[in-house]
Structure 1
Amino acid sequence: MKIGIAAGYWTSRPPRDVDGRLAAAEEAGVESFWTAETYGSDAIAPLSWWGARTGRMRLGTAVCQMSARTPTALAMAAQTVDHLSGGRMVLGIGASGPQVVEGWYGQPYPRPLERTREYVEIMRRVWAREEPVRFEGKHYRLPYQGGAGLGKPLRSTVHPVRRDVPVHLGAEGPKNVALAAEIADGWIPLWFSPKSDDFYRAALAEGFARPGARRGAEDFEVAGVVWAVEGEDVEAAAAKLKPTIALYVGGMGAKGTNFHLDVFERMGWGEECARIQDLYLAGRKQEAADAVPTAMVEDVALVGPAEKICDDLKARWLGTCLTTLVLGGWPRAELCARLVETAAGR
């Protein structure tokens, strides 16, 4: 297992001293650096800005939201970063959810799997640069049909560093996970738990078995963001993550349509999720956070003293389908180094 580190997205201000933290993480042996976006800070600009301070780390998005950009626009951004970084870009994309897609981007959400398949195909045609890009899909058409009537197929002016930038799909449900295994180079789970490993392995196996599947289990990356919160008191460390889990379970989706809540329900936290969501949607956010059990946090995160975190990684996480564990929460460099050693089996 490889170890990465995530900056995520931010609210009031960017995280502090990212340059210093990245340098220390790279020195500690951390292999990749990942950014994210929701409906505030974007993923590409910070990846380029901070990634320029690194020398060897792979640079990934976990994830770019598809509805934020047309397929050709994201293909342009990815090949630009790939050029500037000397071939280190990993493009993680995701369909997001209907509240964000329709409420923030003003785009239709239905049939996300179908849209994802078309989106990835268009990006690969851009990077291949074999001919001007033409595409006739249900969701995307190049050139555009209508408008001024003057659209023409175009080929990227950029000769790419790589004609096949790695594409990872962010996915939580079994159908999306299977799609990732079929058409992508990797899968980015959110709120992955070792107790759900068999469930996800089955979904991945379904995708790998489909005709024309791009990869197999042996050369497919699973890069999951796992928060690491260090502290001598396990309860206090877990408490730092409870508001985030309450936000995703309670507020990142509507009643009856919340993919993050579904993930925790599959782990066996159905009753707790219902209470958390009711409290959060009622505006009682602190009570919602307080309703998150510490055991629920420990299902999806590494919390507590450094020794416990390393022991938990070795005992519970190393045997899962994760091939890259992306540390959220900016753990200190010394802990990163210990986790790199543990993940390497040393």
Structure 2
Amino acid sequence: MEFCLDLSHHRWARANDPRQATEWTLETVAAADRAGLHSVWLSEDPDGWDAIAVAAAAAVRTERIRIGTGVTNPFLRHPVQIAMAIATLDRLSSGRAFLGLGRGQPEFYAHGLGIPVRRPLTAVRETVELLRQWWRPPHRATLAGTHFVVHDWPLSITPLQRPVPIYLAALGPKARQLAAELADGILIADFASEPFLAAILPELRAQLAAAGRDPNRFAVFVRTNLVLTDNPEPALEERKLAFALLATLPGMSQQVIVPGFDVERLVAELRQLLRIEEQLQAGRPWHDIRRAADPDRIRQLVPTELIAQLCLIGPADQLRARLARLAAIGVTHVFVRALPEPDPAAYRTLVETLVSAPARPES
């Protein structure tokens, strides 16, 4: 199992000193690079930063860590823009770029930005088909698609890697099937429970085998936001707001399978509290939904023990046991939350602590 770093624009949005926030981000990626982490994933939403620009700045400060989007989509970026941007990033990073790709939140684009959104998974499929053409010789693409019609269009700047890895953000069965057919790996959203992963990963391996692909060469990334701590309560409380914002989006609670909790009722209460349907239909972005939330009320509604079962937050022996269980069911990469200071030694210690004296999965 390998460890990845998850970064978003939120620190920049809250910063009193923009220069300091920018430097912290770049130094954090450099620290993760020197510590030996596998990759850094830079989130991209239509109300945040430009992930490719940040990745390009980080590329020239690093030597081995893989750098990419976590994730972008074909409504925010046309496929040719994705092809050019990732090829450029791959050159700047000497062959370390990857693409994290998903369907995005359709309501943001359709209702907030006036971008037509229909059959989003078809748009993702067509994007991957175009990228594969542009990134391999002769670097020309043609497609008569539903979303994209491209007529023998060439690219003169191409990646160093052949091929550039494409990882699809996928939760539902159709998205997972698409990942098994076309992608190099899958990214599973935050707050995915062990029972959910244990249910879907054998099916995913079967789909890969049926497609003539080697399941052992397919990466399974899980956005765990791991925190190593002997005092988990504050971190668990902090995660409740993120849980409420994510789980209330259409289809995003399906990964929250935790015996003993009425997740359906909880999500319905949170959706009502956040007025999520109204916000989405009005085309409101993350920025507005987050600011309208009542964190105190959310913390009261969301059980701490539920978050504890959904998040990798806790002491070393507990986390080692949980990581062993995840590895046993097929997870290959997990995400750690960025440390407060960009200290390579601290990241190395974190990884060494988690991989030393590996625990056997609990029965």
- 2:275 is aligned, of 281, 285, 300, to 281
The farther-off stretch of 194-203 and 39-48 is 194-203
Q: Which one-letter code corresponds to 2:208 in the other structure?
A: F
Give the distance between the partners of 1:274 and 1:329, measured in 2 at CA: 31
Distance 1:265 1:312 in 2: 19
Structure 1: any 5+ residue segments left out of the alignment? Answer: 144-152
Cα gap change, 1:107 to 1:15, in 2 (>3 Å): same
In structure 1, C-alpha distance between the alignment counterparts of 2:2 and 2:30, rounded to whole Å: 17
Separation (CA, whole Å) in 1 of partners of 2:32 and 2:161: 26
Cα distance, 1:334 vs structure 2: 5.7
Q: Which residue of 1 aligns with 2:194?
A: 194
Letter of the 1:154 partner, please give it. W
Counterpart in the other structure of 1:6: 6
* Aligned-partner Cα distance in 1 for 2:357–2:340: 20
Greater alpha carbon shift after TM alignment, 30-39 vs 285-294: 285-294
The residue number in structure 2 matching 1:261 is: 253
Query: Is this contact kept in 2: 1:195–1:299, CA < 8 A?
Result: no
- What amino acid is the match of 2:164? V
Change (3 A) 1:131 1:34: closer
Aligned partner of 1:17 in structure 2 is 24
Q: Gaps spanning 5+ residues in structure 2: where? A: 16-20, 277-291, 359-363
Q: Quick one: which of 91, 113, 120 aligns to 1:112?
A: 120
The residue identity in structure 1 corresponding to 2:14 is: S
Q: Deviations over 1:273-322 (max 9, x none)?
A: 222222222855221233121222223322234x2554344454332322
- Distance, in Å, in 2 between the alignment partners of 1:79 and 1:219 is 23
Partner of 1:149: none
Give the distance between the partners of 1:259 and 1:325, measured in 2 at CA.
22
Deviation at 1:266, TM superposition (A): 7.5
Give the aligned partner of residue 318 of structure 1. Answer: 327
Q: What is the rounded CA distance, in whole Å, between the counterparts of 2:44 and 2:128 in structure 1?
A: 19
Report if the CA contact (8 A) 1:33-1:60 is conserved.
Answer: yes
Q: 1:72, CA displacement in angstroms?
A: 1.0
8 Å Cα contact 1:318-1:343 kept in structure 2 = no
Which among 327, 351, 360 is matched to residue 340 of structure 1?
351
**Distance of 1:207 and 1:83 partners within structure 2:** 33
Q: Give the conservation status (yes or no) of the 8 Å contact 1:178–1:203.
A: no
2:302 is matched with which residue? 292
Q: How does 1:160-309 map to 2 (within 5 A)?
A: 160-191=159-190, 192-211=192-211, 215-250=213-248, 253=249, 258-264=250-256, 269-281=263-275, 285-286=294-295, 287-305=297-315, 307-308=316-317
**1:7 offset after TM fit, Å?**
1.1
Farther-moved stretch of structure 1 (154-163 vs 184-193): 154-163
**Conserved in 2, the CA contact under 8 Å of 1:34 and 1:59?**
yes
Q: Measured at CA, do residues 260 and 183 of structure 1 come closer, stay the same or move farther in structure 2, by a change above 3 Å?
A: same
CA gap of 1:312–1:289, structure 2 versus 1, over 3 A, is: farther
Deviates more, 1:94-103 or 1:259-268: 259-268
**One-letter amino acid of the structure 2 residue matched with residue 238 of structure 1:** L
Residue 210 of structure 1: CA displacement? 4.1
Aligned partner of 1:78: which letter?
I
Q: Supply the AA of the counterpart residue of 2:138.
A: E
Change (3 A) 1:22 1:232: same
- CA pair 9-299 structure 1, distance change in 2 beyond 3 A: farther
Matched residues in 2 for 1:118 and 1:285: separation? 40
How far is the alpha carbon of 1:206 from its aligned partner?
Answer: 4.7
Alignment of 1:22-61 (within 5 A): 22-39=29-46, 40-61=48-69
Instruction: Give the Cα separation in 2 of the matches to 1:271 and 1:334.
Output: 44
8 Å Cα contact 2:41-2:69 kept in structure 1: yes
Shift of 1:115: 1.7
Partner of 1:122: 130
Count of paired positions: 328
- Alpha-carbon distance between aligned partners in 1 of 2:324 and 2:187, rounded to the nearest angstrom: 22
8 Å contact from structure 2 (residues 73, 124) kept in 1: no
CA contact (8 A) 1:169 1:180 kept: yes
Counterpart residue number, 1:78? 86
Q: Distance in 2 between matches of 1:298 and 1:320?
A: 20
- SS for the counterpart of 2:299 is helix
Measure the CA separation in 2 of the matches of 1:317 and 1:278.
33
Cα 1:288–1:320, aligned 2, differ >3 Å: closer, same or farther? same
Which of 125, 129, 142 is 2:150 aligned to?
Answer: 142
**Percentage of matched positions with identical amino acids:** 28
**8 A Cα contact 1:37 1:64, kept in partner:** yes
More divergent stretch after superposition (179-188 vs 320-329): 320-329
Residues in 1 aligned to 2:62 and 2:95: alpha-carbon distance in whole angstroms: 13
Classify 1:330/1:179 alpha carbon distance in 2 versus 1 (closer, same or farther; 3 Å).
farther
Alpha-carbon distance in 2 for matches of 1:108, 1:299: 38
Cα distance in structure 2, aligned partners of 1:60 and 1:92: 7
Where 2:339 maps in the other structure, the secondary structure is coil
Maintained 8 Å contact 1:19/1:50: yes
Residue 147 of structure 1: aligned partner: none
